[in-house]
Structure 1
Amino acid sequence: MSASPVTFTSAGSSAGANYGSGMPSNLQHALLEVHQPPKTGSSSQPGAKMFDITFQFNPKELSLTKNAKWNRESHANAKKSAPPEFKGPDPCKLTLEMFLDATDKMDDKVVKKVEQLFSCCVATEESRQGGKGSPPWVIFKWGSMTGFPAYVSSVTAKYTLFTPGGVPVRAVCTLNLEEISGEQGGQNPTSRALAARNEHVLVAGDTLQSVAYRAYGDAELWREIAEANEIDDPMRLRPGSRLLVPALDEVVAK
């Protein structure tokens, strides 16, 4: 049995609906944060950050799919089928489009961006040297929305415009992301996928302890916030910086 895809749209993404128009300056660009796979074998925390892939235009919709495994026992003499038995959830899957356009300069910017996306489908050099090839981890982010740790299972690039010399200057890329780890208990499968973590903008006087207290009611959980943001020195927090705040279920599960 599979759940129907859940489609998310942004009321502020009118530019995404009309790719040819410029985006208002107050809109935040979506991005894919690309990380090394963790060396420790963790299924919840990515490794070191490699680079960001910023969306030139924000996506006009996000399609989220959640599947579950069910089993029905069949008996030859039974008049009715047995009730379905839950066998576990499948990873969440996120599908989105990225529109690329280089008609302002008619250069190879589109080709380079597509190559960058394709690189996410290949095992990282560091993991291959370690003897076990693993794909980079990616996290989709858009303003205060943070997605689940995932890997890019496929990228399809459709070139739609070319220079007289044959260089692609416009493309639509379809990205399929699949969750790294399974479902964590106590979280709604449709809401957790893109809201398992919140974001906090630091202001003067903020400390990791105060952020942890506001988020969890327990200042002692500040170390989980530091780990999620790779903060080595909790005394040096810059006002205006954004902190990822893991969901309480994620923190308690450790």
Structure 2
Amino acid sequence: MPITSTASDTTSLVHAAIDVHEPGPAPGEVGAKLTTIEFQLNPKELTVAKSAKWESKNQKKSSTAPPATYQGPEPQKMSVEMYFDETRTRDGSVVKRVEALFQACTPTSKSTGKNQPSAPWVKFKWGVLTGFVGYIKSVSAKYTLFSPNGTPLRAVCTVALEELAKQPGKQNPTSGGLQPRNAHTVREGDSLAAIAYREYGNPAQWRSLAEVNGIDDPLRLRPGQVVLIPALDELSRADGREIARKEVARALLR
């Protein structure tokens, strides 16, 4: 069945919606539901994209394409348009609906209070399409109709969602691997210090992020590279384990 199809029988019509949740303890485990942003009209189309990351190193003497190494899957992406119309309501306005989408791109009060600011996690649901758990990456609103006093009555919002990174498997039952709370795709001009400041409010945590992600040279981040962002308490435990390992190594060298 095409993912854009809808039932023709109004008694079985299912409306698409985006559930907005507090960030959960791990990807796929959302926190408490904050609100639901409903589609007034089901989307006419829905774009879903998935890609894999490959890395190749140029070889000057090679006469063919260099070999590529698989680096893992990229987060799934989804794009959908939401149509809002308040022309049939007295003194209606679509501004509140649009602002609800914008609000889903800003940190929740609870996460800010814990000194772990994060935008909400969301679930897109529409019929059988209920397994997407991620976050709203961007919202673009276009107002298309206004009342005589300038009140927006219709709007089309383009919403881009991105899947949260899955929890990587541990190497063994005692490895104590971290559970990524989120993931950041590196853009041009990004640095680990800037990412650490945005995620934890402390740029000095760049060393911990480098350790967790196995980054040997933090000055050479590549656009498109994915940096896993553990919760702050787990990052602190990782720091403690690393300090303990170094202390043991120094003791053995004496």
Is the aligned partner of 1:133 residue 2:117? yes
Question: Contact 2:93 / 2:151 at 8 angstroms: preserved in 1?
Answer: no
| CA distances 1:156-215 after superposition (whole Å, capped 9, x unpaired) | 110000000100000100000011124889xxxxxxxxxxxxxxxxxxxxxxxxxxxxxx
**1:133-172 equivalences in 2 (<5 Å):** 133-172=117-156
Q: Distance in 1 between matches of 2:28 and 2:56?
A: 32
Match of 1:10 in 2: 5
Q: Distance in 1 between matches of 2:62 and 2:133?
A: 44
Distance change >3 Å, CA 27–CA 184, structure 1 → 2: farther
**1:90-109 equivalences in 2 (<5 Å):** 90-109=74-93
Amino acid at match of 1:12: A
CA shift for structure 1 position 105: 1.3
Match of 2:71 in 1: 87
Q: Which has the higher helix share?
A: 2
CA shift for structure 1 position 50: 1.0
Aligned length: 168
Match of 2:182 in 1: none
Q: Distance in 1 between matches of 2:93 and 2:114?
A: 32
Structure 1 segments (4+ residues) deviating >6 Å: none
CA shift for structure 1 position 77: 1.7
CA shift for structure 1 position 73: 2.5
CA shift for structure 1 position 12: 3.2
Q: Distance in 2 between matches of 1:174 and 1:63?
A: 11
In structure 1, the gaps of 5 or more residues are 1-6, 14-22, 186-254
CA shift for structure 1 position 43: 1.7
Distance change >3 Å, CA 28–CA 141, structure 1 → 2: same
- TM-score normalized by the length of structure 1: 0.62
1:147 partner SS: strand
Q: Distance in 2 between matches of 1:183 and 1:127?
A: 20
Q: Which deviates further from its counterpart, 67-76 or 93-102?
A: 67-76
- TM-score normalized by the length of structure 2: 0.62
| Cα RMSD for the two superposed structures | 2.1
Is the aligned partner of 1:117 residue 2:101? yes
Q: Distance in 2 between matches of 1:107 and 1:157?
A: 20
In structure 2, the gaps of 5 or more residues are 170-254
1:159 partner SS: strand
Percent identity (aligned): 45
